[in-house]
Amino acid sequence: MLQALEHMIEKTFIGIAHNKEGYKPRESQQLMVNQIGKMLNNPSNNLITIEGQTGCGKSMAYLVPAINQVLLHNKNNKERIHLVVATANVALQQQLINHELPVLAQAGLKMTSVLAAGRGRYLCQKNAMVTMEDENLDVREAQKLEELLMSLGNNSWDGLKDNLTDDNPLQERIWPKISAQRAKCKDCEYKEKCAFVKARSAIEKSDVIVANHALVWSDLEDNKILPLPQNTIYVFDEAHHIPKSYRDSLSKSSNLNRILRLVNKDIDNTAKIINQLSSSADNIATLNYQNAFKLCSALKNGFNELESQCVELIKTSQQASNLKEVTVQFSETGIPAKMRYLLNIQIAPAMLQMMQILEKTNEWGSKQKSLSESVESQLKQGMSILGSFNNAFKTFNLFTTESCEQQPMAQWICNEEHNHSNVIFQAGLVYIGHLLKEKLFDKAYGTCLVSATLRSLGTFDRFLYQVGIQKNETQLLCIESPFDYQHRATLSMNKTMPIPDYKNEALHTQSIVEKFKQDFDNHQSGVMLFSSRRQMNAFVELLDDETLSFVKLQYTDSRKSLIDKHKLAVDSGKKSCLIGCQSLSEGMDLPRQYLTYVGIAKIPFSDISNPMDNAEAIHCKRMRGNPFRDIMLPDASARLVQSTGRLMRTVECSGQIAIYDSRLINKPYGNLLLNTLPSFNRQVS
Ligand code: SF4
């Protein structure tokens, strides 16, 4: 099989060389291709972890062996396999669908492929028609919606939001109403022509499925969309996002105000509904519906008591911190005993019984041939309560799960930004590696984890620990970038800058302003990156009008629009500098003249006030580790590599990276961080 695969791979690369202008085979790319090919034919170790640095041609290096393996397998076997390429951002999905896969098709690969986007990214015709009738829709919105429906009708648009050519803000407002996110597809008259339905049915027939990480995570839970793991070769591009994105997908949060509204108002009504229904619903008469009233009053008392406890905790925290918006974390202290008792003994059993009754009622409703309008609406209300209860029940379950050595938990409550009296319950697992291993890596036909930055402080250790992989369970590969960092990029640092701690922040910000003005004077285009929004805003406030005239500030416009404006300014010979936080340090591809300067305010250490990071640090200490050495430093190292990676996107790129943090020179760990960066020409002043 391996020989046949190697032959097919060779043929594909010959095809690429014939069809893609300027394509040159790269030794590093070939190494990656060969290793993936071998992994896919090695039943005892079907997992490979690759850091493929910028410019090594990693997309083709994983697509060619993986697609050929799918085609080869499907030719010789009845049970088909598929390739799922999961990315963290939409731009990379578009790049794969619109560029890489067509090149491979031209090179002779006869495959079928599809983009599997989340429901919310497709237009729902039924919802759109209902929205058209909405009296509150203004004229421009109605016109826009009509245009969308027309372009869908004449096939000039495929119904996917990402493929809309304009960036009209009207769409942002009406999109949630017209998307397929909450569409009820049963008996829909538009089903045959529906973009969402077509895309979902294409998945089954496709050899290659391009998706995002989040879709894979949700499908691991219910397996409704993607093929089974045992029939799938997974490639996770931008795999450094996996630990956080999978952890976030398993975390839960619930809004206490919403639940209180339900139990204080709607639920009485629901109990009445249940009682009314019980008289007509013979097949559910076995349930004790009188119970519904008792359950409601138990829930009312329980939740009102829970609210009092939360308000007290929030008030104490507000007084101690002198802040209105606070987070009360329980990783160090555990959940207060009386809160745990209330949730576990009083609230959870009553919620569970209530949910069972609502489920049975709904089951009965779905079996009825026809229902009166009032019963229909009663059932709908019951379903909405069931949905909220389901989420709250799962949140409280996670919230009261005891932390232990093997499974530390992050559990906290906070008040809402815009409504300080509203409490949000949040909880999640700190480590999710064991679940990834059990649900995905151990079952998959093969898995390839790829990113331009997977190592931190020069090793894969931190990443492997986070995703639950032992070193002997994966092959590790690092493919170096072909760029000439030494001659094309300068890394400038200053050892006299004020130390950027909280105490010195104002002074440090003032120094950055001065240095930035000097440094950027030599450039036309750049990006200035901050670790916090607070410092970014303080920096901007200190800029003079002339500098402000060429600044494109994050959060003032969509990311896409800011980048478009930046490019437009550069194209018309004007200066332009993007200013933003950590999220601009990733997935932003501004090659050559579009970016010759990268400023970094300080070493991007994580913010340990974040409950998840804090819970991880507490667990690390309990395990006799050192959170700074074991977590903060490796994470900062990976982020610094990503931030500096904005400069060199192609072999022709060049310019300056300025890091305004003297700790890189003056602290012992500075060298550790510097040694993991590419070989820039360093200048210290
Ligand atoms: S099938 Fe579903 S998503 Fe498609 S138009 Fe109908 S309701 Fe909307």
Q: pLDDT at residue 545 above 60?
A: yes
Task: Give the count of domains, the chain.
Answer: 4
Residue 285 has a pLDDT of 44
- pLDDT tens per residue across span 615-628: 999 999 999 999 99
Q: Are residues 309 and 335 in the same domain?
A: yes
* Ligand 1 centroid, distance to 643 Cα (angstroms): 42
Q: Could you tell me if residue 197 is inside a domain?
A: no
Q: Could you tell me if residue 263 is inside a domain?
A: yes
Half-sphere exposure of 424 (CA within 13 A, CB side): 15
Q: pLDDT at residue 281 above 70?
A: no
Q: Which atom of ligand 1 is nearest to the CA of 195?
A: 4
- pLDDT tens per residue across span 462-492: 999 999 999 999 999 999 999 999 999 999 9
Q: pLDDT at residue 287 above 70?
A: no
**Are 526 and 550 contacting, i.e. CB atoms less than 8 angstroms apart?**
no
Q: Are residues 552 and 658 in the same domain?
A: yes
Could you tell me the two tokens for 170?
A: 């009207």
* Ligand 1 centroid, distance to 152 Cα (angstroms): 14
Q: pLDDT at residue 329 above 90?
A: yes
Residue 86 has a pLDDT of 97
Residue 67, helix vs strand vs coil: helix
Residue 595 has a pLDDT of 96
**What is the average per-residue pLDDT within 17-36?**
87
With cut-offs at 50, 70 and 90, classify the pLDDT of residue 612: very high
Mean pLDDT over each residue of the chain, to the nearest integer: 89
CA angle 439/442/445 to nearest 5° reads 105
Q: Could you tell me if residue 569 is inside a domain?
A: yes
Q: Are residues 665 and 622 in the same domain?
A: yes
Q: Are residues 514 and 653 in the same domain?
A: yes
Say which residue, 113 or 556, is predicted with more confidence: 113
Q: Could you tell me if residue 545 is inside a domain?
A: yes
Residue 326, helix vs strand vs coil: coil
- Rounded CA-CA distance 97/161 in Å is 15
Q: Are residues 291 and 423 in the same domain?
A: yes
Residue 36 has a pLDDT of 96
Residue 419, exposed/middle/buried by CB under 10 A (0-12, 13-18, 19+)? exposed
Low-confidence winner among 31-35, 103-107, 318-322 (lowest mean pLDDT): 318-322
Q: Whose CA is nearest to atom 7 of ligand 1?
A: 185
Beta strand pairing call for 409-415 and 327-329: antiparallel
* Ligand 1 centroid, distance to 46 Cα (angstroms): 39
For ligand 1, which residues put their CB under 6 angstroms from it?
A: 124-127, 180, 183-185, 188, 190-191, 194, 196-197
Q: Are residues 511 and 650 in the same domain?
A: yes
Beta strand pairing call for 232-236 and 446-451: parallel
Q: Could you tell me if residue 201 is inside a domain?
A: no
Q: Are residues 645 and 556 in the same domain?
A: yes
Q: Are residues 639 and 509 in the same domain?
A: yes
Contacts of 224 (CB under 8 A, 6+ apart): none
Tell me the percentage of the chain whose pLDDT exceeds 90. 61
Residue 290 has a pLDDT of 62
* Ligand 1 centroid, distance to 92 Cα (angstroms): 27
Which 8-state DSSP code applies to residue 283?
G
Q: Could you tell me if residue 107 is inside a domain?
A: yes
Q: Are residues 374 and 312 in the same domain?
A: yes
Pocket mutation for ligand 1, best pick of 119, 123, 125, 201 (most atoms within 8 Å of C-beta):
125
Q: pLDDT at residue 280 above 90?
A: no
Q: pLDDT at residue 2 above 70?
A: yes
Q: Which atom of ligand 1 is nearest to the CA of 183?
A: 7
Find how far residue 364's CA is from the centre of its chain.
38
Residue 275 has a pLDDT of 67
Residue 414 has a pLDDT of 93
Q: pLDDT at residue 91 above 90?
A: no
* Residue range of the domain that includes 290: 252-429
- pLDDT tens per residue across span 626-635: 999 999 999 9
Q: Are residues 560 and 544 in the same domain?
A: yes
Q: Could you tell me if residue 434 is inside a domain?
A: no
Q: pLDDT at residue 274 above 70?
A: no
Alpha-helical runs (H) found in 400-500 = 433-436, 461-466, 485-488
With cut-offs at 50, 70 and 90, classify the pLDDT of residue 295: confident
- pLDDT tens per residue across span 120-136: 889 999 999 888 887 77
**Are 26 and 426 contacting, i.e. CB atoms less than 8 angstroms apart?**
no
Domain of 492, CATH number, reads 3.40.50.300
With cut-offs at 50, 70 and 90, classify the pLDDT of residue 170: low
Which 8-state DSSP code applies to residue 547?
H
- pLDDT tens per residue across span 501-539: 888 899 999 999 999 999 999 999 999 999 999 999 999
Q: Are residues 582 and 660 in the same domain?
A: yes
Residue 628 has a pLDDT of 93
Tokens 């085609």 — which residue?
71
- Please count the other Cβ atoms lying within 10 Å of the Cβ belonging to residue 406: 7
Q: Could you tell me if residue 351 is inside a domain?
A: yes
Q: Are residues 323 and 458 in the same domain?
A: no
